[in-house]
Amino acid sequence: MEKDKELIPNLFRTEYSKITAVLGKFFGFDHIEVAEDIVSDTFMQAAETWGQKGLPDNPVAWLYAVSKNKAKDYLKRNQLFSDKIVGAVAYNSPETYEIEIDLSGKNITDSQLQMMFAICNPVIPAEAQIGLSLRILCRFGIEEIADAFLTNKETINKRLFRAKEKLRAEKVKIEFPNKEEVASRLNTVLTTLYLLFNEGYYSLSQNTSLRKNLCLEAMRLTYLLIGNEATSQPTVNALLALMCFHSSRFEARLGQHGESVLYEEQDTSLWDDELIARGQHYLNKASVGNTISKYHVEAAIAYWHTTRTADKWEHILQLYNTLLILEYSPIAALNRTYALSKTIGKEAAIIEAEKLGLNGNYLYHCLMGYLYSGIENTCAIANFETALKLTKAQADKAKIRQYIRDMKNG
């Protein structure tokens, strides 16, 4: 029964983007909202119908059939579409026409790739490209996108509205670009998938610490790129390697009640050796050529995290140093301080962490609580209490409260 309740949210994450890509390509950017509304209506009908009548034999086929019928009904009801779209679809006579909406596996794959690269068109700014991809292809909420960009919902709403208007004004078609354009747009596509995976792996927008479905969707979309000759580039393989290494520790990262488990407290027997091997496979494929991207370095860091050797922290620290030179980010700098604490001690790590200016960041205060533990427990407790106020995940709140209790009683 519990699985039935989880089915629609899971299907929403896995099938929404597929159906939206196909219908979005069919309607074009001029009417992309129509495609989104049809898919949303389909899922609303599924929730209502399945709740009353029970699950169909094939829920995915049901979603595809209903969304097709809704699209056809919409076209038949609206003269605007009859004028602008019917001419582009097959018809039998001036009076009757057959609308063909192809939801085959191949067309879904093609449509998703085409949608990814159409949205990542340089006529709109890179931040708008990423935001629109997360919204249309990944069905991120406005709050989730705002969190990803460290901004507010109003800014994101305006950015997405302007982006859609620009794509319409420029008459951008949803199609796969030529080889030169693929190369210039690929980095933005990868950034989108990277953000999608990170939102699942380090979820801060929802009442949970890990959203596996987002991570799996990011991996699926990245795998589509690897399956296409034009986009199977070293950076794409490096990104998928990174995702495989991180995913291999899914089961160890969460405790009994859904709380985050610190790396050093993880049960390494729960690590998935098959996913680690896949990560190594894709990292090897990424090693061709002369380009080293941030995905290469992060994948190497993630690889060392899946090893059980005592000297791994030296390697991880050096890789973080390389990463920060290649592309600085506050979170990478924060993670480096943990590696620093494992190599030369907590005191040195505290000095480096305090230079980062990340007050108000949940992960920063959790790390500072850990670093001060056993050195200055008053500061440790103060940081854990700040982290307690900042986190949204109830299971993590419970774990932090336990840390505070243990320190006060110890």
Question: How far is residue 167 CA from its own chain's centroid?
Answer: 23
| Domain C-terminal end among 147, 178, 196 | 196
Q: Is the pLDDT of residue 90 over 50?
A: no
More confident residue, 214 or 227: 227
Query: Are residues 144 and 114 part of one domain?
Result: yes
| Segments in 227-311 forming alpha helices (H) | 234-247, 250-253, 273-285, 294-305
Query: Are residues 111 and 95 part of one domain?
Result: no
Query: Are residues 6 and 60 part of one domain?
Result: yes
Q: Is the pLDDT of residue 247 over 50?
A: yes
Look at residue 69 and tell me if it is in a domain. Answer: yes
214 DSSP assignment: H
Instruction: Quick: pLDDT tens for 331-358.
Output: 899 999 999 999 999 999 999 999 999 9
Q: How far apart are CA 410 and CA 266, in angstroms?
A: 23
Query: Are residues 5 and 91 part of one domain?
Result: yes
The residue among 136, 127, 126, 117 whose CA lies nearest residue 230 is 117
| Domain C-terminal end among 103, 138, 172 | 103
Query: Are residues 15 and 27 part of one domain?
Result: yes
Nearby residues of 141 by Cβ (< 8 Å), 6 or more positions away: 205
Instruction: Quick: pLDDT tens for 358-402.
Output: 999 988 999 999 999 999 999 999 999 999 999 877 878 888 998
- Rounded mean pLDDT of 94-99? 51
Q: What is the pLDDT of residue 98?
A: 58
Query: Are residues 138 and 50 part of one domain?
Result: no
- Rounded mean pLDDT of 219-244? 95
Instruction: Quick: pLDDT tens for 287-314.
Output: 998 889 999 999 999 999 999 888 899 9
* Long-range contacts of residues 107-111, Cβ cutoff 8 Å, at least 24 apart: 107/22, 108/18, 108/21, 108/22, 109/224, 109/227, 110/176, 111/18, 111/21, 111/22, 111/24, 111/25, 111/174
Backbone angles phi, psi at 91, to 5 degrees: -140, 155
Look at residue 170 and tell me if it is in a domain. Answer: yes
Query: Are residues 60 and 128 part of one domain?
Result: no
Query: Are residues 92 and 127 part of one domain?
Result: no
Locate 11 and state its tokens.
């299907």
Query: Are residues 126 and 70 part of one domain?
Result: no
Neighbours of 305 (CB within 10 A): 18
Confidence of residue 82 (pLDDT cuts 50, 70, 90): low
Q: How far apart are CA 132 and CA 290, in angstroms?
A: 32
Look at residue 350 and tell me if it is in a domain. Answer: no
Q: What is the pLDDT of residue 362?
A: 87
Q: Is the pLDDT of residue 88 over 70?
A: no
Look at residue 56 and tell me if it is in a domain. Answer: yes
C-alpha radius of gyration, the chain, whole number: 24
Look at residue 68 and tell me if it is in a domain. Answer: yes
Instruction: Quick: pLDDT tens for 30-49.
Output: 999 999 999 999 999 999 99
73 is in which domain, residue-wise? 1-103
Confidence of residue 256 (pLDDT cuts 50, 70, 90): confident
Locate 24 and state its tokens.
């979005």
More confident residue, 253 or 279: 279
The CATH number given to whatever domain includes residue 173 is: 1.10.10
Confidence of residue 226 (pLDDT cuts 50, 70, 90): very high
Q: What is the pLDDT of residue 85?
A: 55
pTM of the model: 0.83
Question: How far is residue 31 CA from its own chain's centroid?
Answer: 25
Look at residue 272 and tell me if it is in a domain. Answer: no
Query: Are residues 98 and 12 part of one domain?
Result: yes
Alpha carbon separation from 206 to 69, 93, 140, 330, 387 (Å, rounded): 33, 52, 12, 22, 16
Q: Is the pLDDT of residue 99 over 90?
A: no
Q: How far apart are CA 158 and CA 166, in angstroms?
A: 12
Confidence of residue 315 (pLDDT cuts 50, 70, 90): very high
- Rounded mean pLDDT of 193-205? 77
249 DSSP assignment: T
| Domain C-terminal end among 159, 179, 196 | 196
Alpha carbon separation from 134 to 115, 130, 165, 192, 392 (Å, rounded): 12, 6, 17, 7, 21
Q: What is the pLDDT of residue 87?
A: 52
- Count of domains forming the chain: 2
| Residue whose token pair is 């791994």 | 312
Q: Is the pLDDT of residue 9 over 90?
A: no
Proportion of the chain in helix, strand, coil states, percent, rounded to 5? 70, 0, 25
Q: Is the pLDDT of residue 68 over 80?
A: yes
Confidence of residue 13 (pLDDT cuts 50, 70, 90): confident
